[in-house]
Amino acid sequence: MNISTPTLRVGLAGLGTVGAGVWHRLASQKDLLRQRIGTEIRVDQVAVRRAERAREIGVPESHVVSDWRKLVANPDLDVIVELIGGTKDAFELTQLALQNGKHVITANKALLAERGAELFATAQKHQRHLLFEASVAGGIPIIRALREGLVANRILSIHGIINGTCNYILTRMNEAGLEFKDALAEAKQNGYAEADDSLDVDGHDAAHKAAVLAALAYGFWVPEGQLYTEGLRAVEKQDIIYARKLGYGLKLLAIIKTDADGAVEVRVHPTLIPQSHVLASVNGVFNAVLVRGDVVGDTLYYGRGAGGDPTASAVVSDLAQIAAHFPQEQKARNVGHEALHSRLKTMDEIVSRHYLRLQVVDRPGVLADVARVLASRQIGISSVIQPEAHAGEITPLVLMLHDAPESQLQAAVLEISKIGAVKAPPVHLRVEDFE
């Protein structure tokens, strides 16, 4: 007796780099996917603004519509893949699709960070999947690792290099001795940074991804505006040089971790990490996420975090997960709707070690003045670097500081900036030792 192969019918919204990759991968891997999961995954309809784009990709004209609303309204589609970007239309598409009984797959981390709580509540109400493996770290299966592979663990911490543009810039500043503006220009020339670079280099892209990871690990969405975010614009070549002399590398790091009382910190900023640590060796456009579980210990996930093929691979992986249980319906798992009684720490509460670079006039008593301010805030100095200079010249003064609450450190930096011998705004970076 012949048993027909079930078919998962897909609507694809968006034919940019990732959308085109999804179309091609589903076509080229069609037989492999059917063999592995026992279901055919078939794109029946594609929404794209420019019909000529669809022709370039090789999408049959009969499949093409100009309005994503036609996908949502199509009763024959089982899944919508949202790859249109932005948050306004993407939210409306996702919300309506779920309400219309369709599963949704998205790569849109900004959408999830800003409206995730609403969307997952809708998914749960209508018992549909909202999957998002491609939203963080491209082809690295970090979402599935947190949801499935580490399900028996309480997540103690997540440290992520999750923006390839920033990692490329810092790598080139370190390896080639470039200043930030020159490394950024090179990243744009090589296609690793957009003309409008603010989403990447100001840390917002990494913050969106950190919000998604925090929701998976701790069950709540960080309220808008409360995720501390700091980009690379204040970092100079000399900071990377001094960090190296002190035994550290510099990375834009997403830090998500909990303490013994269940309070959670979620932050993104340039961070000094020991050169001996595995994350310090993650260079170029590669991403890496280090997850510490209370049972398994440390696990590392590494790979290309962006680009059409890695992200398309993650989208197809989500499609395969749905197809593997199709046509039987599987209960949608919720994310970030029922918090695990966690409290978000404010940045002022965060305790860490610190790097401080000052531009000072080389004269007797300057270091003593700085040390006096720090001591008044109960902040100790662990090491000092000051290049040899002639009396009266302006020279860098670099200090590594012991653990201190962020609020005390910021107050001390403000007071230090008012010392007459300090001739430029202090540069402050945080240190992560992974203890």
Residue 80: CATH number of its domain: 3.40.50.720
Say yes or no: 289 and 313 in one domain: no
Residue 1 confidence (pLDDT) above 50: no
Which among 79, 53, 142 is positioned nearest to 323, based on CA atoms?
A: 79
Among 102, 125, 188, 209, the one annotated catalytic: 209
Average pLDDT over residues 214-242: 94
| Long-range contacts of 418-424, Cβ-Cβ distance < 8 Å, separation of 24 or more | 419/366, 419/369, 419/370, 419/373, 421/360, 421/361, 421/363, 421/366, 421/369, 422/358, 422/359, 422/360, 422/370, 423/359, 423/360, 423/361, 423/394, 424/358, 424/359
Say yes or no: 133 and 220 in one domain: no
Say yes or no: 193 and 258 in one domain: yes
Residue-level pLDDT at 334: 60
Q: Is 209 one of the annotated active-site residues of the chain?
A: yes
pTM listed for this prediction: 0.91
Residue-level pLDDT at 331: 53
Residue-level pLDDT at 85: 87
Which has the minimum average pLDDT: 87-96, 143-152, 162-171, 286-295? 143-152
Say yes or no: 153 and 293 in one domain: yes
Using one digit for the tens of pLDDT, what is the confidence trace for 76-123? 999 999 999 899 999 999 999 999 999 999 999 999 999 999 999 999
413, part of any domain:
yes
Count of the separate structural domains present in the chain: 3
Asked if residues 243 and 272 have their Cβ atoms less than 8 Å apart, the reply is yes
**Of 247, 277, 304, which closes a domain?**
304
Strands 155-161 and 103-106: what pairing?
unpaired
Residue-level pLDDT at 195: 82
Residue 35 confidence (pLDDT) above 80: yes
Backbone angles phi, psi at 5, to 5 degrees: -80, 125
395, part of any domain:
yes
Residue-level pLDDT at 328: 60
Give dist(CA 51, CA 133) in Å, integer. Answer: 28
Say yes or no: 293 and 152 in one domain: yes
414, part of any domain:
yes
Average pLDDT over residues 276-303: 96
Give dist(CA 53, CA 65) in Å, integer. Answer: 12
Average pLDDT for the chain: 92
Say yes or no: 19 and 118 in one domain: yes
Residue-level pLDDT at 2: 46
Residue-level pLDDT at 337: 45
Task: Provide the percentage of residues in the chain whose pLDDT is more than 70.
Answer: 95
Say yes or no: 211 and 125 in one domain: no
State the pLDDT confidence band at 248, using cuts at 50, 70 and 90.
very high
314, part of any domain:
yes
1, part of any domain:
no
Residue-level pLDDT at 4: 73
Say yes or no: 165 and 288 in one domain: yes
Say yes or no: 164 and 294 in one domain: yes
Residue-level pLDDT at 330: 53
State the pLDDT confidence band at 391, using cuts at 50, 70 and 90.
confident
State the pLDDT confidence band at 305, using cuts at 50, 70 and 90.
confident
Asked if residues 421 and 363 have their Cβ atoms less than 8 Å apart, the reply is yes
Using one digit for the tens of pLDDT, what is the confidence trace for 312-344? 989 999 999 898 876 665 555 566 544 555 789
336, part of any domain:
no
Whether residue 223 has a cis bond before it, omega within 30° of 0: no
Q: What is the CATH number of the domain that holds 203?
A: 3.30.360.10
Using one digit for the tens of pLDDT, what is the confidence trace for 255-272? 999 998 889 999 999 999
Residue-level pLDDT at 192: 87
Say yes or no: 187 and 219 in one domain: yes
Give dist(CA 323, CA 264) in Å, integer. Answer: 35
Q: Which two tokens stand for residue 31?
A: 């037989």
Residue 240 confidence (pLDDT) above 70: yes
Which among 308, 317, 264, 307 is positioned nearest to 287, based on CA atoms?
A: 307
Task: Provide the percentage of residues in the chain whose pLDDT is more than 90.
Answer: 78
State the pLDDT confidence band at 423, using cuts at 50, 70 and 90.
very high
Residue by residue, DSSP assigns 229-267 as E--STT--HHHHHHHHHTTEEEEEEEEEEE-TT-EEEEE
Give dist(CA 174, CA 250) in Å, integer. Answer: 9
Number of neighbouring beta carbons within 10 Å of residue 115: 20
76, part of any domain:
yes
- 168 CB-side CA count, 13 A: 23
User: Domain limits at 190?
Assistant: 142-304
Q: What is the CATH number of the domain that holds 364?
A: 3.30.70.260
Say yes or no: 179 and 250 in one domain: yes
93, part of any domain:
yes
Residue-level pLDDT at 338: 45
Say yes or no: 179 and 292 in one domain: yes
User: Cα–chain-centroid distance for residue 288?
Assistant: 10
